[in-house]
Amino acid sequence: MEAPISCSAKAAAVCGHVARTQTGSASSTGSLRSSSRPSKLGRASAAGVLAGFALGWKGKARRRHRFTLQAQKGDSILVLGGGIGGLTLAMRLAQMPWRTKPQVKLIDPKERYVFLPLLIDYATGVVELDELAPLFDELLQEAPGVQHIQGVASEVDWRRREVGLCTDEAKLDFDAVVLASGSLRMKPGEELPGLSRALSDGKALCFRSLSDADALRARLPFVSSVAIIGAGYVGVELAAGLAEVLPDVAAAGQISLFGSRFLPGCEEANQARSAELLEKQGIIRKTGRVISIDDDGLTWSSLSGDSREHHACDLVIVTGALAPPEYKDMLQLKAPLEDSVDQGRAAVDEYLRVAPGVFCLGDASAGTPATGQIAMQQAEVAAWNIYAQLSCLPRVAWRRFKPSALGEFIALGSTEAAGVVEASQMANLLPPALPPGIARLASSATAAASEIQGSTKVDIGGKPASLLRRLAYLYRLPGLRHRLQVAENWLRRSSRASGDISANVLPGL
């Protein structure tokens, strides 16, 4: 299709046509002089025609050049955050049947991807660094067209279709953008009194990132007493893991877990099994609210607030919402997108969009539990919908997001775990990680167990739950080559007879 002639070109052509008509009228009257020698008007008309064609051709050439560059460059997709959801989505985009491959930029400040469900296993020595946190550049060798940019996205301007970075004044244009960087910017909450000073003095640690896990590993040989703030998933798993690597400290009653609620939102069977094991390990549970942190420990009160008590310890570990964010410059959405954000999470539609071309998943999206399995499910749906949008597919071809709970696991040391699995979802949990025959056997076994229990859920504990948890996570590690390497490492370590805790990576095998 030819490019339309610009307004200036059309005006020049019309002027030329009018001039030619007037010249033709004059020559038809029999003026030999005008026909043998061009008049000024004729020369003007010829110049107008040439100018019209020149401008029209120049406009066409410019448009052809622009369209050619766009076809060569492809669409620009920005993925803000390289966590479990962001990386899964970026690698999935590389597998889509694009006519022209888009430019996918994965923006994350770290050089390593961190599989957070195994972070406590790394802190306690069960898994190694390269198993938990492979380099982005190595993983993305399996995802052609995806580029890792080390940086922190600071703001998203939907009207201008631009993303700003904290360390660079330049803006990145996008045709589609994915918000996968964790919680969005919100008003800062009240910080726990004394936390900043305790962190700077080394009296306290947060537990949310790879650097935190490294710091904890370095401190473990010198810890004689520890208090963990937050009795959610992370706090409970961390307490159980520390009790295993610090058995003398646990036996002396020097590992304490503080929280206003124990495993809120967790399955009742997992709550009961976890509470039983923590008591068996000697962990002291204290129900209340931590008021402040000081050089000698912390001060806490009962839920009613009637009494206060000081708890002395060498190290305080802060988990959950009380831990300050890893990066101070959190992502901000400019108007009108900022109106969709509440408590750090953005409202999304059934296609996981905050607005046309702006997708959101993981901790940044509202309406679903902030878990790894939900983030991975969202990544699959959002990747397809981005492909559908940029390929101009009809809306009927888009996918609506419906969360599917596969199960819930709580690690209680290297060989113990508590798990509740949906019997109907066992086929989705195991087969990709196990040979088909074993997967079918496991699926039928759990289905039979659920019939015996009279429920659609299966309660699993001990070594079977720990093994099932790690196999499920093994399958969900990114990249086929990385997954196979980790599987080989785990099988080799679990086959040797040693007292090393890393040999417990596949308990029961």
Helix axes 233-245, 268-281, angle to 10 degrees: 30
Using CA atoms, how far apart are residues 432 and 276, in angstroms rounded to an integer? 33
pLDDT > 90 in the chain, percent: 59
Task: Say which CATH architecture domain 195-322 belongs to.
Answer: 3-Layer(bba) Sandwich (3.50)
Q: What are the tens digits of pLDDT across the range 56-98? A: 444 444 433 333 334 345 799 999 999 999 999 999 999 999 9
Same fold? 74-109+150-187+326-397, 195-322: yes
Q: What would the two tokens of residue 251 be?
A: 């036996």
Q: What are the tens digits of pLDDT across the range 166-221? A: 877 789 999 999 999 887 865 556 789 999 999 999 999 999 999 999 999 999 99
Neighbouring C-beta atoms of residue 40, cutoff 10 Å = 7
Spell out the domain ranges in the chain: 7-72, 74-109+150-187+326-397, 195-322, 407-504
Q: What would the two tokens of residue 344 be?
A: 């750090």
Using CA atoms, how far apart are residues 305 and 314, in angstroms rounded to an integer? 25
Per-residue model confidence (pLDDT) at position 23 = 39
Task: Say which CATH architecture domain 74-109+150-187+326-397 belongs to.
Answer: 3-Layer(bba) Sandwich (3.50)
Segment 24-45 mean pLDDT: 40
Q: Using the predicted structure, report yes or no on whether residue 338 has a pLDDT greater than 50.
A: yes
E strand map for 127-174: 146-149, 153-157, 162-165, 168-173
The bridge status of strand 204-206 relative to strand 297-301 is: unpaired
Reduce the secondary structure of 182-223 to three states and give it as a string.
CCCCCCCCCCCCCHHHHHHHCCEEECCCHHHHHHHHHHHHHC
Q: What are the tens digits of pLDDT across the range 141-154? A: 999 999 999 999 98
